[in-house]
Amino acid sequence: MHIPDGFLAPPVWATLDAVALPAVALAARRAQRGLEDARIPLLGVMGAFVFAAQMINFPVGVGTSGHLVGGALLACTLGPASATVVMAAILAIQALVLQDGGILALGANLLNMAVIGVLAGYLPYRLWGAGRLRKFAIFAGGALSVLASAVLALAELLLSGVRMAPSVLGLSLAVFLVSALLEGAITLAVLQALEAMRPGFVRRPAGGASLALGAVAVAAVLLSAVGVLFASTAPDGIERVLGVAVADASWLRKAGTGLVGLAVLFVMCTVFERFAAKRSA
């Protein structure tokens, strides 16, 4: 979900811009891998692939269809840092040329889809992609990436004061769940077909982790994302952020909690990604 301008409250988009932009810059440095510009054509062409792939509709039955988002697919084939760069570039182009997502809100969209979405998509693969659970890992990656981005987007909207009745929230989450499962299925279908075409092309992640540790990590990601969501929907709601002076302590507290949750989630994923990268380097 690409959040347009005008939805997020200034403290929210400003903070997210301040967090996401350095994160993407860091990913860019990692993606270069010391080869300076040699990887630009590969990342560029694969980005064009994802962009074009998003136009191919997969039937879900009963007249609806979905399409690939691509974060998990890129993460499994190019590595998470490169995937972040590619997704970030795609989001920027979509915001500028298709007005799909705002400019001030770009930080939020980058964080949701290019950073957290990619990391969440890579996490299961990194943990279980080398063993018997490979297919499940790929599917889970696709699903988790979409779920995490969607839940974060919802949380950011709620934090900004967009009020949603619990029934609406439930409906949105249900829709996100369907999209998530679809993404998992598509990602798996594409990777399987790729493996059939060129066996050994999709590299296995080095060194797995125990099932228990992996389950805990994935659960932690999910819980944090959902936790942020619930922290943002305090029962008394966030009164008309637009009209509330900054000095109002209760609003600040709630917003603060939500943002801290986001920060925790982000730090966790970054640390894990560093750890994973060291082990597979």
Partner 1 sequence: MLRRMLEARARPQGPLDRRDARSKLAALLVFLVVISTARYAFPATAAVMAILLAAACLWAKVPLAEALRRAAVVLPFTAFFAIVCWASGDAERAIALALKSYLSCLAVWLVVATTPMPALLRGFESFGAPRFLLMVAQFIYRYLFVIAEEARAMALAASARGSSARADFRILRFRAAGGALAVLFARSYQRADEIHRAMLARGFRGRMRSLDAPRFQLADAAFAAAASLIAVGARLAAERLV
User: Does 234 help bind partner 1 (rule: CB under 8 A)?
Assistant: no
Binding span for partner 1 by CB under 8 A among 29-37, 122-130, 143-151, 212-220: 29-37
Q: Which of 18, 45, 216, 271 binds partner 1 (CB under 8 A)?
A: 45
Q: Which of 20, 76, 89, 140 binds partner 1 (CB under 8 A)?
A: 89
Q: Distance between CA atoms of 166 and 168, rounded to whole angstroms?
A: 5
User: Does 249 help bind partner 1 (rule: CB under 8 A)?
Assistant: no
The string of DSSP codes covering 228-253 is HHHHH--TT----GGGS-TT-HHHHH
Can you read off the two tokens belonging to residue 276? Answer: 């994973």
Q: How far is the CB of 223 from partner 1 (least distance, A)?
A: 26
Dihedral over alpha carbons 158, 162, 166, 169 (to 10 degrees): -70
* Among candidate residues 237, 239, 240, 231, the one with its CA nearest the CA of residue 263: 231
Binding span for partner 1 by CB under 8 A among 83-91, 121-129, 203-211, 246-254: 83-91
User: Does 23 help bind partner 1 (rule: CB under 8 A)?
Assistant: no
User: Does 48 help bind partner 1 (rule: CB under 8 A)?
Assistant: yes
Q: Which of 146, 157, 228, 269 binds partner 1 (CB under 8 A)?
A: 157
Cα–Cα distance list, 247 to 127, 250, 278 (Å)? 45, 9, 44
User: Does 163 help bind partner 1 (rule: CB under 8 A)?
Assistant: yes
Sole residue written with tokens 């998470």: 80
Q: Which of 18, 44, 207, 267 binds partner 1 (CB under 8 A)?
A: 44
User: Does 221 help bind partner 1 (rule: CB under 8 A)?
Assistant: no
User: Does 246 help bind partner 1 (rule: CB under 8 A)?
Assistant: no
Beta bridge partners of 109: none
Number of residues in contact with partner 1 under rule CB under 8 A: 77
User: Does 212 help bind partner 1 (rule: CB under 8 A)?
Assistant: no
Whether residue 55 contacts residue 67, with contact meaning beta carbons closer than 8 Å, is answered with yes
Nearer to partner 1, 70 or 124 (CB): 70
User: Does 170 help bind partner 1 (rule: CB under 8 A)?
Assistant: no
Q: Which of 136, 173, 178, 192 binds partner 1 (CB under 8 A)?
A: 192
Cα–Cα distance list, 164 to 52, 60, 169 (Å)? 34, 27, 6
Which stretch of DSSP H or E encloses residue 65? strand 64-66
Can you read off the two tokens belonging to residue 244? Answer: 């509330």
| Distance, C-alpha 12 to centroid of its chain | 17
Main-chain dihedrals φ then ψ at residue 159, nearest 5 degrees: -60, -30
Binding span for partner 1 by CB under 8 A among 81-89, 131-139, 207-215, 257-265: 81-89
Q: How far is the CB of 219 from partner 1 (least distance, A)?
A: 29
Which stretch of DSSP H or E encloses residue 211? helix 211-232
